Amino acid sequence: MNKEKKSYHHGNLAESLLNAVDEIATQFGLEAVTLRACAKLVGVSPSSAFRHYTDKRDLLTAFATRAIKQLSATLVAANEQAKSDESDAFIAVGSAYIEFALSKPAFFRAMWREETIYSTDQHYVEASNQLNSHLQGGFARTLYDKDSASLSPQELLAWSSVHGLANLMVDGPVGNGMSKSEQLILAREMIVAMQPAFRLPGS
């Protein structure tokens, strides 16, 4: 344990506290997350934790920022794989989005809960903007206004549909009693069913 604590004090404590948020939130929900609880789980004093995060809201903002960055990376990878395979980007990105939500429910729940984060935090805003650009790029093969600087109504509808299904699977009634693989099959079937609505005219 002493060696563990030394590693935290050499620059890893901030990240370790975010790992603790994930563990606590996954088991007990975001409401159970506190700086003191995270510090205890990591094995350091609360005062050490407060040197990195001023309060719970600051901690959850960093956690949400990390979640958004990881989702962005997931979508970029899915889009690149779709290009490599010459497969449908809309289906690949939508499926990756839902798999991320099912695999990392605490991250998914934390990303846009403005009542628990500082939504104007510079790093959070930058991560959110980056995610928007990746969503736009991921859906660009099948959606309208692909040269627009912001999400088009079609892209927003696609994101809302995929996000809504993910939310219903993570915290709602859809897929209850199913394995993760069964949920992903169901999600893909829904995405495939809605995909023709986003075809470009004449395609």
**Is the model's pLDDT at 107 over the cut of 90?**
yes
Let me know whether 63 and 17 are in one domain.
no
Let me know whether 125 and 45 are in one domain.
no
Around Cβ 100, how many Cβ atoms within 10 Å? Answer: 20
Confidence at residue 155, expressed as pLDDT on a 0 to 100 scale = 74
Let me know whether 12 and 100 are in one domain.
no
Asked, for residue 203, whether it belongs to a domain, the answer is no
Confidence at residue 151, expressed as pLDDT on a 0 to 100 scale = 65
Confidence at residue 127, expressed as pLDDT on a 0 to 100 scale = 94
Let me know whether 21 and 90 are in one domain.
no
Render the burial of 18-46: b for 16+ CB within 10 Å, e for the rest: bebbbbbbeeeebeebbbebbbeebebee
Tell me the residue range of the domain where 24 lies: 1-53
**Is the model's pLDDT at 72 over the cut of 80?**
yes
Let me know whether 4 and 101 are in one domain.
no
Task: Report the mean per-residue pLDDT for the chain.
Answer: 84
Q: Considering only CA atoms, which of 156, 63, 81, 76 is closest in space to residue 118?
A: 63
Let me know whether 144 and 106 are in one domain.
yes
**Is the model's pLDDT at 7 over the cut of 50?**
no
Asked, for residue 23, whether it belongs to a domain, the answer is yes
Q: What is the pTM of this model?
A: 0.83
**Is the model's pLDDT at 96 over the cut of 90?**
yes
Please name the amino acid found at residue 183: Q
Let me know whether 98 and 182 are in one domain.
yes
Give percent of the chain above pLDDT 90.
Answer: 58
Residue with more model confidence, 88 or 13: 13
Let me know whether 43 and 64 are in one domain.
no
Distance of CA 167 to the CA centre of its chain: 11
Instruction: Check which CATH number belongs to the domain holding 80 and give it.
Output: 1.10.357.10
Asked, for residue 17, whether it belongs to a domain, the answer is yes
Let me know whether 193 and 118 are in one domain.
yes
Let me know whether 13 and 95 are in one domain.
no
For 140-198, how does the pLDDT look when each residue is reduced to its tens digit (9 = 90+)? 444 444 455 566 777 778 888 899 999 999 998 998 899 999 999 999 999 999 877 76
Total domains in the chain come to 2
For 8-47, how does the pLDDT look when each residue is reduced to its tens digit (9 = 90+)? 444 589 999 999 999 999 999 999 999 999 999 999 999 9
Let me know whether 127 and 143 are in one domain.
yes
Instruction: Check which CATH number belongs to the domain holding 42 and give it.
Output: 1.10.10
**Is the model's pLDDT at 199 over the cut of 80?**
no
What is the sign of the dihedral through the CA atoms of 97, 102, 104 and 107? positive
139 band by pLDDT with thresholds 50, 70 and 90? low
Geometric angle at alpha carbon 137, from 203 and 85, rounded to 5°: 65
